[in-house]
Structure 1
Amino acid sequence: MQMSSLALILCSAALGFLIHSVLSRRRPARSPPLPPGPRPWPIVGNLPQLGPKPHQSMAALAQLYGPLLHLKMGFAHVVVAASAAVAQQFLKAHDANFSSRPPNAGAKHVAYNYQDMVFAPYGPRWRLFRKISALHLFSAKALDDFRHVRQDEVGILCRALAGAGQTPVRLGQMLNVCATNAISRVMMGKRVVGHDSGGSGGDEKAEEFKAMVVELMVLAGVFNIGDFIPALERFDLQRVVAKMKKLHTRFDNFLTTIVNDHTIDDQNKGHVDLLSTLISFKDGEDSLTDTEIKALLLNLFAAGTDTTSSTVEWAIAELIRHPEILSQAQQELDSIVGKNRFVTESDLPQLVYLQAVVKENFRLHPSTPLSLPRIAEKSCDINGYHIPKGSTLLVNVWAISRDSEQWADPLEFRPDRFLPGGEKPNVDVKGNDFELIPFGAGRRICAGMSLGIRMVQLLTATIVHAFDFDLANGLLPQKLNMEEAYGLTLQRAEPLIVHPKPRLAYHVYKA
């Protein structure tokens, strides 16, 4: 009787196990959980927790919840990559799935309704814009063909700084004029803004143009409630859209004048430059519309001016605060370049320490602290977490480059970490080393990265070589305010105001 009962129990157990196995195979497996993150508020989600400097707030949240962070912004899922390993998963292993941009007010109301290269959906038009830019704007040949323009504009900047006399200058403003004219001369063969003779920071037109670009970057960096809660879009509660529309009108007037004047010049003079090349595509197989040409110009002026000037402004501020590093950089420049001429681009490969200074500045002060957003085309799993279709991806470049697991003394300005014998001698900024990606990585890496690197290196090297600096109003270097003001680009909370003191031979500063 006992044996029969035992057999019945064993048979029942075996049958139960078989049924469970069949049912388990039929039921879909539970999807992994969402990445961890703070509890969202009703309706608005985590938007109120981001504060005025979202890159810093998100870095602090990542310290609590981990390097793959989930936020709810309104009704949208947002995932934040805050470590090199997580960023590599998104931008390399899953790059194809995150190659388009999410809908946003800036692309719609400023960037010609997604007809530019930065915000265009991943597809044939985006690939065309990228191909044209890679071939005609940012190829090694195109950059070499116009190196004399960049060197000329940097020389004009240095003469303006030398002519300032005892007048303090707003360095960022003058750097912006230089970067703007370097791009405009390559694009259309002429300068569009100028330095005033007094050296106080640029003429009225230059100040207006920089203000437009800064406003664009500030507005583009705002987390607009209407982007995340569609029902509220038409109310424009933050007045962001209204400001974007006004700014777009100003930019469009500026760009329309440039294109129209340039077309007339071409007809009258047979002038050929990069804008002429873009205009020539209007009649080809890969035709561009006037709107697409203006949208590409907007990308170039917005992405290639303020990012460059703010990055170099941060670099000079760091060198003023670290006189021993400044002295070492100047010794290298004096030994290679001498004191009877300005730096040229051909000098840059020999300036090993100066390149380390620039890399360290890119690390501590990335021009875009939060990457431009990307969107998940389909659901995927990353690091054991579920990323729903339609999620917005943000890569916290600022947090990654200050990660104590990657960098020794991450808050210290230490160029030697990139030198032979340092902790990161082979790390570069070109998108392959994910602990340092100031230009992004993957398909959507900054198209103008090569130009940006050259311009930042040339400007930093030339200014460090050509000048010593005292801070305005007798301010001591250790008291210099290094606070950040958030926008799409990383601005200084207070502009760097300095007294430039020429250190090269007198004749070098003469036209």
Structure 2
Amino acid sequence: MGLLPVLAFIVLMFRPKSKIISSALPPGPALCWPLVGNLPEMMLNKPAFRWIHLMMKEMGTDIAGIRLGGVLVVPITCPKIAREVLKKQDANFASRPLTFASSTFSGGYKNAVLSPYGDQWRKMRRVLTSEIICPSRHRWLHDQRAQEADNLTSYVYTLATAPSSAVDVRHVARHYCGNVIRRLVFGRRYFGEPQPDGGPGVMEVEHMDAVFTSLGILYAFCVSDYLPWLRGLDLDGHENIVKKANVTVNRLHDMVIDERWRQWKSGHRGELEDFLDVLITLKDAEGSPLLTIEEVKAQSQDIIFAAVDNPSNAVEWALAEMTNMPEVMRKAVEEIDRVVGRERLVQESDIPHLRYVKACLRETFRLHPVAPFNVPHVALADTNVAGYRVPKGSHVILSRMGLGRNPAIWDEPLRFKPERHINMEANNDVALTENDLRFISFSTGRRGCVAASLGTSMCVMLFGRLLQGFTWSNPAGVAAIDLSESEHDLFLAKPLVLHAKPRLVGHLYASSQS
């Protein structure tokens, strides 16, 4: 009998190690309905993201488990838990949900950002990292970005010197981002006729409206995504919105891509000028085209979707906050005058030296994220997170607003304080990225943003040119800017409209116009 404990000990010591999965799911609503889970509560408490955050606050938890149909949705508001997901267990959370919107916008999962984990994702991710968003390509298209910064300066000058001198900052910011990314992808700012004042035409406005509609509804807690047998009934109108936006985007993109495809295949084009040329001309190991035209279209849309909302939202919110805080505005403008001067315009080469300007943008990403949650991550296998069981197939969503406004991490979390991001050692850079996930500017991990350098350039150039070129103030009769969030998203409730006055010598605006 004395040998049995010894044998049992030997077996336990040398048996294959298996991961022990906790039996407890993350805390969630007390009531969970059969089959539909908490979908009734979600539908009665729109928008869903505000219901989720209020529920977590009332429960006093940084991780929750909400059953929506057959899916466990796991929102997270704690940086430590977020790092456990995207750093320690990144490989297990490398997939994406299969939704009506993501399938539609990705052309049936042919791109990199929205595709579930698998060979297609690996292929398109490799294309992005090695051929599109790499340092050599970033340098290659520098001049195109610089031209769009000049176009921005010229366009705002035209608006600022008009009789009203009122500038819709949201309009300017979104269309600057649209101009930049259309120039990089398609080699052109306009789908239609150029505008004399440098502003967007009808087709460009249509393009940005459809892109922002698409982004706003991409992972919008649609009922049929959790109960697929309801798909086609379109109970909440989600599917119709998705289809209409996608038709608009595809119509505008396809008129460029189809013609360019014909040019390359017929031998009438022989020089690479933009990302579209790169995608079309890629070859595999046997010298055959690497991508089909459907993959080129899906990846082009992927790049455009990823580039426009984050920089434009950050700059609009930053100017709104700083207009109400003249001392912060003064410090940012003084830094630009010190680093750049007033005899030339801000350039990308100045970005490393604009530490306070970048601190203002970091603080905006923290306090005013572009979306409530990061793009969902799907668990590839059962696992434990923060001591709780997270089953295979669960959707883990990191809360951008919960991380950035977490009072356990940030002092006075609802106050705009750029100084919190300044390291007093003068040689230390201030990066817009945030590797510790105390907030999310550009997402991280193997499914994270691969274009942080492009995003940084777009953010700082947009913000820097607006601060350097113009003095901003409230419109007549407005004592302070209303910083209320929209009820349905995290944008300003009303587009930011400010009075702008040119502050540089006239020939700089004239040179940018030329």
Is the counterpart of residue 57 in structure 1 residue 51 in structure 2? yes
Is the counterpart of residue 386 in structure 1 residue 378 in structure 2? no
Distance 2:431 2:347 in 1: 22
Code of the residue aligned with 1:115 in structure 2: it is: K
2:30 alignment partner in structure 1? 39
Give the RMSD, CA atoms, in angstroms: 2.8
1:13 alignment partner in structure 2? none
The 3-state SS of whatever aligns with 2:471 is: strand
Match of 2:163 among 166, 183, 189: 166
Distance 2:407 2:98 in 1: 34
Distance 2:229 2:270 in 1: 52
1:502 alignment partner in structure 2? 502
> How far has the Cα of 1:476 moved from its partner?
2.1
Match of 1:155 among 133, 143, 150: 150
Distance 1:172 1:60 in 2: 29
Q: Which structure 2 residue ranges, 5 or more long, are not aligned?
A: 10-18
The 3-state SS of whatever aligns with 2:282 is: helix
Code of the residue aligned with 2:491 in structure 1: it is: Q
1:72 alignment partner in structure 2? 67
Query: Structure 1, residues 268-310: CA drift from partner, whole Å, max 9, x if none?
Result: 3434222111111267457211111111111111121233222
Q: Which structure 1 residue ranges, 5 or more long, are not aligned?
A: 1-16, 22-27
Query: Structure 1, residues 233-252: CA drift from partner, whole Å, max 9, x if none?
Result: 23221121122122222222
> How far has the Cα of 1:35 moved from its partner?
0.7
> How far has the Cα of 1:257 moved from its partner?
0.9
> How far has the Cα of 1:404 moved from its partner?
0.9
The 3-state SS of whatever aligns with 2:272 is: coil
1:279 alignment partner in structure 2? 280
Structure 1 residues 315 and 293, CA, compared in 2 at 3 Å: closer, same or farther?
same
Q: How does 1:312-461 map to 2 (within 5 A)?
A: 312-421=315-424, 428-461=431-464
> How far has the Cα of 1:232 moved from its partner?
1.7
Distance 1:321 1:74 in 2: 44
Match of 1:482 among 476, 481, 484: 484
Distance 2:288 2:95 in 1: 25
Distance 2:156 2:486 in 1: 25
Structure 1 residues 40 and 208, CA, compared in 2 at 3 Å: closer, same or farther?
farther
Is the counterpart of residue 118 in structure 1 residue 116 in structure 2? no
Code of the residue aligned with 2:54 in structure 1: it is: A
Instruction: Give the TM-score, by structure 2 length.
Output: 0.87
Contact 2:190 2:200 in 1 (8 A): no
Is the counterpart of residue 262 in structure 1 residue 260 in structure 2? yes
Higher mean alpha-carbon deviation, 388-397 vs 42-51, is at 42-51
Percent identity, aligned pairs only, is: 29
2:14 alignment partner in structure 1? none
1:4 alignment partner in structure 2? none
Code of the residue aligned with 1:91 in structure 2: it is: L
Distance 1:85 1:71 in 2: 20
Distance 1:408 1:427 in 2: 19
> How far has the Cα of 1:480 moved from its partner?
2.1
1:184 alignment partner in structure 2? 182
Query: Structure 1, residues 8-36: CA drift from partner, whole Å, max 9, x if none?
Result: xxxxxxxxx9xxx9xxxxxx999421111
Match of 1:142 among 134, 137, 141: 137
Code of the residue aligned with 2:492 in structure 1: it is: R
Match of 2:226 among 225, 228, 240: 228
Code of the residue aligned with 1:129 in structure 2: it is: M
Code of the residue aligned with 2:464 in structure 1: it is: A
1:91 alignment partner in structure 2? 86
Distance 2:288 2:372 in 1: 38
Contact 1:195 1:206 in 2 (8 A): no
The 3-state SS of whatever aligns with 1:234 is: coil
Code of the residue aligned with 1:96 in structure 2: it is: A
The 3-state SS of whatever aligns with 1:469 is: strand
